[in-house]
């Protein structure tokens, strides 16, 4: 366990626009070298948090510390240009009249020409564009332009790097490929970073820690695995990943009975009334030998597998991820069984109970 002081520490951040709360009681920490992400739908406040960290907004309450330095707090507001924070924008904001090398060098101030050249060459190598520094932005692809924008932000060795929806202008295929490239570049540079996005695939591909935001608050700040398998609220369960909910009844403190059968929990189920059991597509396995069947009502071919929407006898629908050699037609009934290695249930209080939680 890392006991060192976090590089980024936001404590009870509060911000208003025209007297209306847009961020309230928001806290998070990032250790040096970690990549964090604020994930949420439009209007949830995630970009406002990024602007507060950058210093573009004066906060209404709470504090922001970077490298144990108070940047925003009661009576304190350090100007954006004095925060040692780099930023990558949605539109890259490259200067069209400057070469790639000149764009990267733009943020380097107070260093010798030799030191500037050395740093630019280091970053060109890091982003896979070594030998192409003399080209101009219009002569390279959108993905390469994004990497140049990233290199320019990294050039002055910022304490913290902020990325604002960095892949929103790219097509889906390029977005998926570049998100992994960006993660590798940031990790190789040793920089601490935080990005905002509405796309969970980007968040999972890039970040070590993710905060799912809703109405100006963080619902859950956690590693991607826990957000998917151990969501602590119904909202997080719905927002992250695909899944379905089946009503269940606790027949004892460790067993939930539902339409598909009984699931055993390794931890006591505290609230045993009005349970909703979360089932992910990989929790429902196609099994020809099973006596429990469901009707195929929709299917999405994804190459290696099908994502089937299945209707149970009750009329309720669930999802199942099935290898693509099991090719079933809509209207066909197939055998299924549960293969869930943990149980996540929700009660009317919207709080999750997970058997993998301590």
Domain ranges of the chain: 8-234, 244-354
Which pLDDT does position 356 carry in this prediction? 43
Which pLDDT does position 3 carry in this prediction? 65
Distances 147 to 73, 103, 118, 123, 312 between C-alpha atoms, Å: 33, 11, 18, 10, 48
Which pLDDT does position 268 carry in this prediction? 72
Q: Is the pLDDT of residue 354 over 60?
A: no
Q: Is the pLDDT of residue 110 over 60?
A: yes
Three-state secondary structure along 201-260? Answer: HHHHHHCCEEEEEECCEEEEEECHHHHHHCCCEHHHHHHCCCCEEEEEEEEECCEEEECC
Contacts of 280 (CB under 8 A, 6+ apart): 228, 229, 241, 242, 243, 319, 340
pLDDT-derived band of residue 294, with 50, 70 and 90 as boundaries?
Answer: very high
Percent of the chain with pLDDT over 90: 73
Q: Is the pLDDT of residue 296 over 60?
A: yes
- Range of 54-63, 256-265, 276-285 with top mean pLDDT: 54-63
Which pLDDT does position 88 carry in this prediction? 92
**Stretch 275-289: mean pLDDT:** 92
**Tell me: the pLDDT tens digits for 229-264?**
889 999 999 999 899 999 988 888 888 888 998 887
Q: Which of 2, 65, 56, 61 is nearest to 28 (CA)?
A: 65
Q: What is the third-level CATH fold of 244-354?
A: OB fold (Dihydrolipoamide Acetyltransferase, E2P) (2.40.50)
Q: Is the pLDDT of residue 300 over 60?
A: yes
State how far the Cα of 134 lies from the Cα of 285, in Å rounded to an integer. Answer: 55
At which residue do the structure tokens 């598909």 appear?
260
Which pLDDT does position 22 carry in this prediction? 95
Which pLDDT does position 358 carry in this prediction? 29
Percent of the chain with pLDDT over 70: 94
**Tell me: the pLDDT tens digits for 113-143?**
999 999 999 999 999 999 999 999 999 998 8
Which element (helix H / strand E) includes 53?
Answer: helix 46-54
Which pLDDT does position 265 carry in this prediction? 74
Which pLDDT does position 48 carry in this prediction? 96
pLDDT-derived band of residue 73, with 50, 70 and 90 as boundaries?
Answer: very high
Q: Is the pLDDT of residue 271 over 70?
A: no
Q: Is the pLDDT of residue 349 over 80?
A: no
State how far the Cα of 343 lies from the Cα of 231, in Å rounded to an integer. Answer: 11
Q: Please, are residues 213 and 28 in contact by the beta-carbon 8 Å criterion?
A: no
To the question of domain 8-234 being in CATH 2.70.180.20, the answer is no
**Stretch 14-31: mean pLDDT:** 94
Rounded to 10 degrees, the C-alpha dihedral 260/256/245/313 comes to 30
State how far the Cα of 128 lies from the Cα of 255, in Å rounded to an integer. Answer: 54
Residue 202 neighbours by CB distance under 10 Å: 25
Q: Tell me the backbone φ, ψ of residue 225, rounded to 5 degrees.
A: -60, -45
**Tell me: the pLDDT tens digits for 158-180?**
999 999 998 887 777 778 888 99
Which pLDDT does position 172 carry in this prediction? 75
pLDDT-derived band of residue 91, with 50, 70 and 90 as boundaries?
Answer: confident
Q: Please, are residues 55 and 72 in contact by the beta-carbon 8 Å criterion?
A: yes
Contacts of 296 (CB under 8 A, 6+ apart): 308, 309, 310, 328, 329, 330, 331, 332, 333, 334
Mean pLDDT value across the chain? 91
């Amino acid at each position: 366990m890392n006991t060192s002081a976090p590089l980024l520490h936001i404590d009870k951040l509060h911000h208003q626009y025209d007297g209306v709360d847009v961020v309230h009681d928001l806290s998070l920490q990032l250790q040096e070298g970690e990549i964090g992400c604020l994930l949420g739908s439009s209007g949830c406040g995630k970009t406002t948090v990024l602007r507060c960290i950058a210093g573009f907004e004066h906060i209404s309450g709470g504090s922001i510390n970077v490298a144990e330095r108070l940047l925003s707090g009661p009576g304190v507001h350090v100007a954006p240009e004095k925060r040692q924070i780099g930023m990558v924008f949605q539109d890259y904001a490259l200067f069209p009249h400057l070469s790639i090398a000149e764009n990267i060098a733009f943020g380097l101030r107070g260093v010798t020409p030799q030191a500037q050249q050395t740093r630019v060459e280091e970053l060109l190598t890091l982003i896979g564009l070594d030998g192409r520094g003399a080209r101009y932005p219009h002569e390279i692809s959108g993905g390469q332009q994004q990497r140049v924008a990233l290199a320019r932000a990294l050039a002055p060795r910022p304490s913290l790097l902020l990325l604002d929806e960095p892949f929103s202008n790219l097509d889906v295929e390029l977005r998926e490929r570049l998100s992994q490239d960006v993660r590798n570049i940031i990790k190789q540079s040793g920089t601490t970073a935080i990005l905002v996005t509405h796309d969970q695939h980007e968040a999972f591909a890039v970040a070590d820690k993710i905060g799912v935001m809703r109405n100006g608050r963080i619902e859950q700040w956690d590693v991607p695995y826990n957000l998917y398998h151990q969501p602590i609220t119904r909202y997080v369960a719905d927002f992250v990943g695909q899944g379905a909910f089946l009503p269940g009844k606790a027949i004892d403190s460790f067993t939930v009975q539902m339409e598909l059968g009984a699931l055993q929990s390794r931890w006591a189920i505290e609230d045993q009334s009005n349970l909703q059991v979360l089932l992910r597509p990989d929790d429902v396995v196609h099994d020809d030998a099973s006596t429990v069947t469901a009707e195929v009502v929709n299917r999405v071919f994804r190459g290696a597998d099908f994502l089937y929407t299945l209707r149970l006898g009750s009329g309720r629908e669930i999802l199942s991820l099935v290898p693509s050699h099991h090719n079933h037609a809509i209207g066909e009934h197939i055998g299924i069984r549960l293969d869930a290695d943990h149980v996540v249930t929700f009660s009317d209080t919207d709080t999750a109970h997970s058997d993998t939680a301590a």
